[in-house]
Structure 1
């Protein structure tokens, strides 16, 4: 992980030159920023204090891991161009959300509240006057 962060930092420092500059000028910088932030959140959230219950600790570490995958998939949908990879990213979002819910149910935790998929904004209010 540290190697990846160092590599991303070096890319960010060399924006104005060479291949790295061309990659970032091509729109990759927002993607790298989004995925680096997702990985940082994931890694921080996975650092748990052991509870003495292996199952709860597993869920506590895996939930942010799955959320990190969701966040990175959202970045692919937002910035990616390959339709096949974007479809895979959509599947990752659905699969990871289902796995988070399944782990929480297995421990008797309540399900997370319903919300729009991360790729959908809040729905505009429906006009019922017609």
Structure 2
């Protein structure tokens, strides 16, 4: 589980930032959600509690959908110009 957290931390630190709060928020939230999905998949592989497994399945579905939405919003943003 810690390996998944470390991977997420590195991906968030490497997220492309441009100083626009909306862009930067989305840019960092995508790897954050990917990290949650990675951890939830570990629960599906190794977890035994049915309630936690159900939670993990919901997290995967919801966060995959949110990643698609965030990618769409990022693609629709105009480029940031600096004076």
Is the TM-score greater than 0.5?
A: yes
Give the C-alpha shift of residue 49 in structure 1: 5.7
Looking at structure 2, the residues matched to 46 and 98 of structure 1 have their Cα atoms a distance apart, in angstroms, of 19
Q: TM-score with structure 1 length normalisation?
A: 0.54
Asked if 1:39 corresponds to 2:5, the answer is: yes
Alpha-carbon RMSD across the aligned residues, in angstroms, is 1.4
Greater RCO, CA 8 A, separation 6+: 2
Q: Which residue is equivalent to 2:43?
A: 76
Q: Unmatched 5+ residue regions in structure 1?
A: 1-34, 110-130
Moved over 4 A (4+): none
Give the C-alpha shift of residue 36 in structure 1: 1.0
Q: Greater share of helix residues, 1 or 2?
A: 2
Q: TM-score with structure 2 length normalisation?
A: 0.81
Alignment map for 1:1-130 (pairs within 5 Å): 35-47=1-13, 48=15, 50-108=17-75
Q: Unmatched 5+ residue regions in structure 2?
A: 77-83
| Count of residues in correspondence between the two structures | 75
